[in-house]
Amino acid sequence: MSSTAPMRVASAQGDYTVEQYDDVDSLVDSLAAIPNAFFIVDELVADLYASSFQRLANRPMHRMPATEAEKTLHGIERGLLALQAAGGNKRTTVVGIGGGIVQDVSTLVAHLWYRGVDFVYVPTTLLAMADSCIGAKSAVNLGSFKNQIGTFQSPKRVLACDRFISTLTDEAVMSGYGEIVKLAIVESPEAVATVRADIERDGMRSNHVGKHVRMSLETKRRVIEIDEYEVGLRKTLNFGHTFGHALESTVDNEVPHGLAVVWGVDVAGYVASRLGQFDQSTYADLHEFLHRAFHMHVTRPYTALELVNAMRRDKKAVAGEVALILPHRIGELAIVPTPIDATLTGFIADYLATQDLFAA
Ligand X SMILES: NC(=O)c1ccc[n+]([C@@H]2O[C@H](COP(=O)([O-])OP(=O)(O)OC[C@H]3O[C@@H](n4cnc5c(N)ncnc54)[C@H](O)[C@@H]3O)[C@@H](O)[C@H]2O)c1
Interface residues with ligand X (CB under 6 A)? 42, 44-45, 48, 66, 68, 71, 98-104, 124-125, 127-128, 131-132, 135, 137-138, 147, 164, 167-168, 172, 175, 256-257
Euclidean distance between the first and the last CA atom of the chain, given in angstroms as a whole number: 44
DSSP character for 72?
B
User: Which is it for the CA torsion 292, 171, 78, 115, positive or negative?
Assistant: negative
E strands, the chain, in order: 7-9, 16-20, 37-42, 61-64, 93-98, 118-123, 137-142, 145-152, 157-160, 321-329, 332-339
Dihedrals φ, ψ of 261, to 5°?
A: -65, -45
Pick 90 or 222: Cβ nearer ligand X: 222
Pick 256 or 347: Cβ nearer ligand X: 256
Give the residue closest to ligand X by C-beta.
100
Pick 104 or 187: Cβ nearer ligand X: 104
Contacts for 227 with CB less than 8 Å, ≥ 6 apart: 233, 234
Least distance in angstroms from the C-beta of 45 to ligand X: 5
Least distance in angstroms from the C-beta of 129 to ligand X: 9
Least distance in angstroms from the C-beta of 165 to ligand X: 7
Least distance in angstroms from the C-beta of 280 to ligand X: 30
Least distance in angstroms from the C-beta of 66 to ligand X: 4
By CB atoms closer than 10 A (0-12, 13-18, 19+), residue 58 is exposed
Distance CA 83, CA 75 (A): 12
Residue 225 C-alpha from the chain's centroid: 18
Pick 88 or 176: Cβ nearer ligand X: 176
Distance CA 212, CA 185 (A): 13
Pick 77 or 190: Cβ nearer ligand X: 77
Pick 42 or 266: Cβ nearer ligand X: 42
Pick 293 or 344: Cβ nearer ligand X: 293
Least distance in angstroms from the C-beta of 37 to ligand X: 19
Count the Cβ atoms, other than its own, within 10 Å of residue 289.
17
Least distance in angstroms from the C-beta of 63 to ligand X: 11
Specify the amino acid at residue 12.
A
Least distance in angstroms from the C-beta of 224 to ligand X: 10
Count the Cβ atoms, other than its own, within 10 Å of residue 97.
28
Pick 18 or 344: Cβ nearer ligand X: 18
